[in-house]
Amino acid sequence: MVSGLLKVMVRGIYSTALLRLILKNGHEISLPTISQKERFGVWSTESPDVMVSDTQDKHAVKILGKTEYVEEFIRILKKDVPSTIFVGKTKQLENPQGNVQLIAAFPLNAKLELDTLRSEVTYTVPWHHFCRAGSESLSSMVSFAEQLLEEGLVQPEKVYALFKEYISKLTPRLGSNIRIIHSKLDGRNIVMGPAKVIWRGNGIIKVRRLILGGGVYDGLNVPKSPGDYAITELKKESMYTVTKYYSLNGSPKGEYYNICTPIEMYDTYVRYVDLGVDVVRPFGKEPRIIDQDEPREACAAGKLPEHIMKKAFDVAEELVKQLT
């Protein structure tokens, strides 16, 4: 731990929640915006030890500062936002300060934990950070609703109930083309699609996409052929995706179950963090678990919380039982 107060500057959609976190742990807000001054009332005019800002996709934040300060901020984040996942490698920046930079990803449960922190400061509608990260339209809807709440023009209970109902029904339209954003522990975002929504109901969608390129299917060791296609089933908040591969004439080739953080479903895309472990079942064969090293290594490195790793293995083992 660092001696003395940590001075932290935060910008972006997670700023209120993260600044609340900083103050709760006895540290200081550095160089706040006008709205942050109005909201918190206390701050430092000294330069920050740690700077935090949104990544471009807004589902994670970049943390920048000297190693010892960044480590202290990470310690606090792990304690109070325990579903945070640290992705990619820590970058050693070439500057006189000797700063490092790393990425903290906020999957669904982390966003909900941040909602709780934010609600200690100001009116916060359910699924606030989920919406703010999701799209401009959802973000604007949240800002409008919370402005009405702050001005006392609507009752919180009614607005909160409406938001919960709206988010529970939020799914892509039937027939629309969506993206599946497959965020990896190594920091990459793999975008799959376009995938056409061919069925939806009860928070579940099924999408169809054509398989391009040659080679074999990862984990299945089954050759890819021209005309192959995949049907992927995605369920809101589920910790796995189901992809079934077919040949041009509709013959099944195999099934792939990707274990992930609870699925976040928006109107034009679906996203999650791939937890590394998977279950495969080639057509006519028994299911088996593959790729178990990656989550263990990420956990050992302090990047993947142990409770999430254990849950991932529990989900994989339960799937094998169901499929056997």
Residue pLDDT, tens place only, 187-208? 999 999 899 999 999 999 999 9
Output the pTM of the full model: 0.95
Whether residue 85 lies inside any domain: the answer is yes
Average pLDDT over every residue of 260-271: 97
Least confident span in 14-23, 111-120, 212-221, 313-322: 212-221
Q: Let me know if residue 318 belongs to a domain.
A: yes
Specify whether 229 is located in the same domain as 265. Answer: yes
Q: For residue 115, tell me if it sits in a domain.
A: no
Per-residue confidence at 1, pLDDT binned at 50, 70, 90? Answer: low
- CB 69, CB 49: distance < 8 Å: yes
**Mean pLDDT, residues 143-154:** 90
Instruction: Tell which wins on pLDDT, 214 or 186.
Output: 186
Residue 10 confidence (pLDDT) above 80: yes
State the total domains in the chain.
3
pLDDT at 223 over 80: yes
Q: Which 3-state string (H, E, C) describes 219-255?
A: CCCCECCCCCEEEEEEECCCCEEEEEEECCCCCEEEE
The conformation of residue 43, written as its DSSP 8-state character, comes to: -
Same domain, 184 and 297: yes
Integer CA distances (angstroms), 227 to 30, 165, 195, 246, in order: 57, 40, 15, 9
Q: Do 311 and 182 share a structural domain?
A: yes
Quote the CA–CA distance of 111 and 89 in Å, as a whole number: 22
Is the bond leading into 194 cis (omega within 30 degrees of zero)? yes
* Low-confidence winner among 146-150, 180-184, 243-247 (lowest mean pLDDT): 146-150
Quick one: average pLDDT of 225-247?
97
Instruction: Report the pLDDT value the prediction gives residue 213, as an integer from 0 to 100.
Output: 81
Q: What is the CATH number of the domain that holds 298?
A: 2.40.380.10
| Phi, psi (rounded to 5 degrees) for 246 | -135, 150
Q: Residue 150: what pLDDT?
A: 87
DSSP 319: H
117 vs 21: CA distance, rounded Å: 7
- Portion of the chain with pLDDT greater than 70, in percent: 99
Pair type for strands 7-10 and 50-54: parallel
Q: What's the length of the chain?
A: 324
Structure tokens of 163?
A: 């938001």
Is residue 117 in a domain?
no
The answer on 104 and 43 residing in a single domain is yes
Q: What is the pLDDT of residue 95?
A: 81
pLDDT band at 182 (very low <50, low <70, confident <90, very high): very high
| Averaged pLDDT, 158-171 | 91
Domain that holds residue 150: 125-169
User: CA 262, 177, 233, 125: dihedral to nearest 10 degrees?
Assistant: 30
Instruction: Specify whether 160 is located in the same domain as 186.
Output: no
Mean pLDDT of 197-224: 93
pLDDT digits (tens, 9 = 90+) for 284-318: 999 999 989 999 999 999 999 999 999 999 999 99
Same domain, 14 and 34: yes
Residues 199, 102, single domain; the answer is: no
Task: Say how far apart CA 28 and CA 46 lie, in whole Å.
Answer: 10
Average pLDDT, whole number, for the chain?
Answer: 95
Chain position carrying tokens 């100001």: 122
Is 114 among the domain residues? no
114-128: b or e for each residue (b if 16 or more CB lie within 10 Å)?
Answer: bbebbbeeebbbbbb
| Residue given tokens 């992927």 in the structure block | 232
In a domain, 1, yes or no: no
79 has a pLDDT exceeding 80: yes
Is it the case that residue 2 has pLDDT exceeding 70?
A: no
Residue 305 included in any domain: yes
Query: Is residue 31 included in any domain, yes or no?
Result: yes
Q: Are residues 159 and 254 in the same domain?
A: no
Q: Give yes or no: residues 183 and 309 share one domain.
A: yes
Structure tokens given for 198: 């061919």
Per-residue pLDDT at 212 exceeds 70: yes
Residues 91 and 131 in one domain: no
Q: Residue 146 pLDDT > 80, yes or no?
A: yes
C-alpha closest to that of 85 among 56, 105, 61, 112: 105
**Is the pLDDT at 127 greater than 80, yes or no?**
yes
- Residue range 149-166: mean pLDDT, rounded: 90
Same domain, 19 and 103: yes
Residue with tokens 């990803």: 105
47 and 96 together in one domain: yes
Phi, psi of 194 (to 5 degrees): -70, 145
